[in-house]
Amino acid sequence: MALKDYRTALVTGASSGIGAATVRLLAARGIAVHALARRRERLEALAGEGDITVHAVDIRDRSKIYQTLGAFDIDILVNSAGIGSRFDPFHELDPDNIDATLETNVLGTVHAVRAAVPGMVARGRGHIVNIGSIFGLHAIGTSVYGASKGAVHILSQDLRHDLKGTGIRVTEVSPGRTETEIFATMTDDLALQDAMAVGFSILTAEDVAEAVVWALDQPWRVNVSLIELTATEQIPGGVDIHPVAGSE
Ligand SMILES: NC(=O)c1ccc[n+]([C@@H]2O[C@H](COP(=O)([O-])OP(=O)(O)OC[C@H]3O[C@@H](n4cnc5c(N)ncnc54)[C@H](OP(=O)(O)O)[C@@H]3O)[C@@H](O)[C@H]2O)c1
């Protein structure tokens, strides 16, 4: 079940960044791609680049997601829709932003999977790719975003148990810092947004999309369950060895 054996894909978060790059790569490989996000004009600009169908849908609109994803056969589901939670200190976080982060990154992913799998089970084949994050694998800071991506991590790993025997493969691709529009969801500070894209050569959206397609292109006997992908100069984890002032 390599990529050539799949015919259709649905990519969420398709209007920019990793999702858009994945749409382009899949379309270039002959897959009929359904591109889903909120910004219709962005999706329509992409639609000229191949066999791409546009769905301007908010991933948090549960009934619309079931209606949209239940309307056609999906061989490949790539869950890339996501936002970064705000950079504010935890004790100053806007409760609405906490909800938006968890509803988009966690509930959006869970319901998209739930909506797509019945058809996959009926046809005996399918491949789910969830875009996680190094924030879901390591304690780095920004705990609400980390919690959302930690949920995507264990969802992806548990789905392998839950879907065993159905013919559905599950892959989690967890990137480090990648140059996309996501920084704008974390802070309005343009200097800080720029600062996140410098200092070392960060990943491009295409780097991550290539990893997605590589996992999809493996022969049937191979399930790539987790890819952690970072810039060469970004090393997650480690211990904070700097003492806090006044703690000695
Ligand atoms: N960039 C990084 O450093 C990085 C690192 C690790 C993981 N990730 C993950 O990678 C995934 C893609 O993000 P990106 O970096 O490519 O950022 P991006 O360029 O901001 O793309 C995010 C996508 O999600 C869509 N989206 C956001 N909220 C949505 C909603 N309510 N309904 C439908 N679509 C929604 C956006 O489209 P609309 O605004 O048009 O709806 C956009 O297409 C996310 O899950 C993110 O957490 C990113």
Tell me, yes or no, if the pTM score tops 0.75.
Answer: yes
Considering only CA atoms, which residue is closest to atom 44 of ligand 1? Answer: 82
- Give me the residue label for tokens 């936002």: 83
Is any atom of ligand 1 closer than 6 Å to the C-beta of 62? no
Considering only CA atoms, which residue is closest to atom 11 of ligand 1? Answer: 80
Q: What is the pLDDT of residue 247?
A: 54
- Statement: residue 248 has pLDDT above 60: no
Is any atom of ligand 1 closer than 6 Å to the C-beta of 58? yes
pLDDT tens for each residue of 52-88 = 999 999 999 999 999 999 999 999 999 999 999 877 8
pLDDT tens for each residue of 152-210 = 999 999 999 999 999 999 999 999 999 999 888 888 888 877 777 666 688 999 999 99
Catalytically annotated residues: 145
232 Cα: distance to centroid of ligand 1 (angstroms): 22
Confidence of residue 242 (pLDDT cuts 50, 70, 90): low
Query: What is the atom index within ligand 1 of the atom nearest the CA of 60?
Result: 31
> May I ask the CATH architecture of the domain 3-229?
3-Layer(aba) Sandwich (3.40)
Q: Which of 157, 122, 174 is nearest to 18 (CA)?
A: 174
Percent of the chain surpassing pLDDT 70: 94
DSSP the chain: --GGG--EEEEESTTSHHHHHHHHHHHHTT-EEEEEES-HHHHHHHHTTTTEEEEE--TT-HHHHHHHHTSS--SEEEE----PPP-S-GGG--HHHHHHHHIIIIIHHHHHHHHHHHHHHHHT-EEEEEE--GGGTS--S-HHHHHHHHHHHHHHHHHHHHTTTTTEEEEEEEESSEESTTHHHH-S-HHHHHHTT-SS-PEEHHHHHHHHHHHHTS-TT----EEEE--TT--------SPPTT--
213 Cα: distance to centroid of ligand 1 (angstroms): 18
pLDDT tens for each residue of 98-126 = 999 999 999 999 999 999 999 999 999 99
In this structure, are strands 76-79 and 52-56 parallel, antiparallel, or unpaired? unpaired
pLDDT tens for each residue of 122-165 = 999 999 999 999 999 999 888 999 999 999 999 999 999 999 99
Is any atom of ligand 1 closer than 6 Å to the C-beta of 19? yes
